[in-house]
Structure 1
Amino acid sequence: MTYEFAKVERKGRITIVTLNRPEVMNAMHSPAHFELHRVFDEFANDPEQWIAIVTGAGEKAFSAGNDLKWQAAGGKRGWDKSGFAGLTERFDCDKPIIAAVNGVAMGGGFEIALACDLIIAAENAVFALPEPRVGLAALAGGLHRLPRQIGLKRAMGMILTGRHVSAREGFELGFVNEVVSQGQALAAAERWANLILQNGPMSIRASKQTIHRGLGVSLEQALAEQRDYPAVKALAASEDYIEGPKAFSEKRAPQWKGR
Structure 2
Amino acid sequence: MIIMSNVDFYCEGHVAHVRLNRPKSLNAISGDMDQALLEAWEEINRNPEIWVAVLSAEGDRAFCVGADVSGGTERQSRMALGGGLTGIGGPLVKLEKPLIAAVQGYALGGGFELAMCADIIVAAENAQFGLPETKAGIIGECGVVHRAIRQLPHRIGMAMILTGDRMPAKDALHYGLVNEVVEPAELESAAARWAEKVASASPLANRAAKDAVLSRLGYPLEVALATRFETIENYASSEDVVEGRNAFVEKRKPEWKGR
Same fold, TM-score > 0.5, yes or no:
yes
Q: 1:176-255 counterparts in 2 under 5 A?
A: 176-225=178-227, 228-255=228-255
Q: CA RMSD in A?
A: 1.7
Cα shift readout 1:16-62 (whole Å, capped 9, x = no counterpart): 11101111010012111011101111111111011111111111111
Q: Which residue of 2 aligns with 1:256?
A: 256
Deviation of the 1:179 alpha carbon? 0.1
Q: Which has the higher helix share?
A: 1
Query: Contact 2:85–2:95 at 8 Å: present in 1 too?
Result: no
Query: Contact 1:64–1:107 at 8 Å: present in 2 too?
Result: yes
Judge which range, 23-32 or 84-93, deviates more: 84-93
> Aligned pair 1:31/2:32, yes or no?
yes
Q: 1:1-259 counterparts in 2 under 5 A?
A: 1-70=2-71, 75-89=73-87, 91-137=93-139, 139-225=141-227, 228-259=228-259
Query: Contact 2:106–2:128 at 8 Å: present in 1 too?
Result: yes
Change (3 A) 1:87 1:183: farther
Change (3 A) 1:166 1:47: same
Change (3 A) 1:175 1:165: same
Normalised by the size of structure 1, how large is the TM-score? Answer: 0.92
Structure 1 Cα separation of the partners of residues 230 and 71 of structure 2: 41
Deviation of the 1:204 alpha carbon? 0.8
Cα shift readout 1:98-120 (whole Å, capped 9, x = no counterpart): 11002211111101000111110
Change (3 A) 1:171 1:103: same
Change (3 A) 1:150 1:240: same
Deviation of the 1:221 alpha carbon? 1.1
Query: Contact 2:247–2:253 at 8 Å: present in 1 too?
Result: yes
Cα shift readout 1:80-130 (whole Å, capped 9, x = no counterpart): 434434233355322101110022111111010001111100001111011
Structure 2 Cα separation of the partners of residues 150 and 85 of structure 1: 19
Change (3 A) 1:148 1:252: same
Structure 2 Cα separation of the partners of residues 84 and 176 of structure 1: 17
Letter in 2 for 1:189: A
Letter in 2 for 1:106: L
Letter in 2 for 1:48: E
Structure 2 unaligned spans of 5+: none
Query: Contact 2:62–2:106 at 8 Å: present in 1 too?
Result: yes
Letter in 2 for 1:255: E
Structure 1 unaligned spans of 5+: none
Sequence identity (%): 39
Normalised by the size of structure 2, how large is the TM-score? Answer: 0.92
Deviation of the 1:210 alpha carbon? 1.1
Number of equivalenced pairs: 254
Structure 2 Cα separation of the partners of residues 229 and 55 of structure 1: 31
Letter in 2 for 1:250: E
Structure 2 Cα separation of the partners of residues 79 and 126 of structure 1: 29
Cα shift readout 1:5-25 (whole Å, capped 9, x = no counterpart): 111121111111110111101
